[in-house]
Amino acid sequence: LGNGTIGGSDVPIDPDGVGIAVLAISAGQTHTCAIGIDHTVRCWGGNDYGQLGSSMGVDSAVALAVPATAGHAASVSIRGFASCAALDDGRALCWGFNGYGQAGDGSETYRTAPVLQAGTGATSLAAGGSHTCGVLGGGVWCWGYNEEGAIGTGAASLYVSTPTAIASLASGATAVAAGYDHSCAVVQGAAWCWGNNEKGQLGDGTNNNAAGPVAVAGFGSGVTAIAAGGRQTCAIRNAQAYCWGYNGNGELGNGTMVDANAPTPVSGLA
């Protein structure tokens, strides 16, 4: 919680060490990162793999600035034990757990400080279960663990440790999302997904895995935002919220607990 203690709280707490207005925030498995109004990333919580951007293994109950992002952070995305940030000058940085190459620097070594990716022109990044995707130079790039085709390039390699472009999504991308082992993007208003599709989380009307992008059924235009969960995906299209994929706990919000392999409207969010 970042309030200087390790006790739980059932009401909101202002993290110590932030102290300024916050522009964005993202939560991982044991840590949280935020961008302050000064455009610097600050992280707090668990630090087993260096995910706070400081020395590995030293947890922090207060927010710590990530020096490499100072004054330039535009977006932040964390998941599990990894952290990534896109800077306003187009640099893409990742740090923390890197056992599958998801830091994108060509290694599989845990990173206690941000490392620079090979791509340029980053506008957004999305950290997945064990992979990362980003909008770099207007196109979609992914790297890390390629289980079930989550990287989206059709590559046979299980590990892809540097950013790799998805040829069919080379321009016009505005948003990207990464789930446990699937990924999605918005390109010129259309939604595309790839990777694991066991629960229908790719939204193409099938349950077939895809090593490259497949079109989300009925979402060829009007999509403005997309988010990927563990085995489900949600998006905003024409100001309406839709979800698809796993629904065993009602996470699709459509009034049922039945999986859906194509978008279904979220009840009450029309």
Residue 38: the pLDDT is 96
| Tokens at 80, concatenated | 């599990």
Q: Could you say which residues of the chain have pLDDT below 70? A: 118-119
Residue 5: the pLDDT is 86
Residue 118: the pLDDT is 64
